[in-house]
Structure formats: C-alpha cells, structure tokens
Amino acid sequence: MRRLLAVAIAAAALAPAAVAATPSPCALVSADDAAKALGGKVGKGKAQRLGLYRACTYVRGRRTLRVLVRTIGQAAFEKSAKRNPPPVFPIPGVGDEAFSAAGGAALLVWQDGTEVTFAFLGFNPVVQAQKDVAKAALEHL
C-alpha cells in the first residue's frame, strides 16, 4: 500500500512539470502567422486552457484559428488523431507525423512528444496554407 501511495505522489508531483513543459501556443503561432492563415490582420491571440490542451485563439471577422498544444506520446497521438471527425488522413511533410481531420477543418501535428492541433473555424484553407502555419509553429518548438 505504501508503495502505491509513493507512486501516486510521484505521479502527482510530475504532472505539473509536464504541463509547464508544454510550449505556449501563442508563442508557437504569432499574430503574423495567424494573419497569413486567416487572410488579414488579427489581434493578439487569446490564451486559455481547454481540457488537456493549452490553447491560443486568433479571430478575423468570422474566421478563427485555434492552436491547441499538449505533451503526448506518438502512439497516443495516433490513436487520438484517428478518433477525430472523418475523413482523417495522413499529411506528409509536416512534423514527425500529421493528419488532416474533419474535412480539412483541422490539422493535427506531432513532433518530439508535442501535439499541435490547428482548428480552422469558419473556413477551410487549402492544405498548403495549413502546412505553412504548422511549419512556422514547429520552428518554435
């Protein structure tokens, strides 16, 4: 019983470190990067916590780019990505692994233990625009 308690205490102590190690999504995607994806000038990103993710939201009119970041293993990322709304398919050339989901409304990217998800609300940019914002973000990881 003491051993189980010690493991639980150690896990609880390490959990805040994992959250702290997760990069800021507003630092990964600048307002300039978001403006390119949204087609014009945007204000400062709104940082917040959404469940397991740190999030940053940029808005231009009716278009929104939400960047979600979390620390996750590759196998768990793959499993999670495939549970997104269909169609879900691989996107080569971005990060260590990437998937498009929800008919192009989301791009999920995994690199070096970090998932960065880009949710495009109010529009579906072309795949190259999605890749461009993702590659700009991954440069800051």
Q: Residue 8 falls within a domain, yes or no? A: no
Query: What is the model's pLDDT at position 21?
Result: 79
Query: What is the model's pLDDT at position 96?
Result: 97
Looking at residues 77-99, what average pLDDT do you find? 96
**Residue range 18-59, pLDDT digits in tens:** 445 799 999 999 999 999 999 999 999 999 999 999 999 999
pLDDT at 16 over 70: no
Say what the pTM is: 0.84
Q: Residue 116 falls within a domain, yes or no? A: yes
**Residue range 101-116, pLDDT digits in tens:** 999 999 999 999 999 9
Q: Residue 10 falls within a domain, yes or no? A: no
Query: What is the model's pLDDT at position 17?
Result: 42
Give the angle subtended at the CA of 105 by the CAs of 61 and 99, to the nearest 5°: 145
Q: Residue 55 falls within a domain, yes or no? A: yes
Q: Residue 49 falls within a domain, yes or no? A: yes
Closest CA to 109 of 84, 128, 81: 81
List of residues 6+ apart from 10 with CB closer than 8 A: none
CB 84 within 8 A of CB 102: yes
Query: What is the model's pLDDT at position 43?
Result: 94
Report the domain count for the chain. 1
**Residue range 50-75, pLDDT digits in tens:** 999 999 999 999 999 999 999 999 99
Query: What is the model's pLDDT at position 7?
Result: 26
Query: What is the model's pLDDT at position 125?
Result: 86
Residue 85's domain spans which residues? 22-138
Q: Look up the CATH number of the domain holding residue 117.
A: 3.40.1000
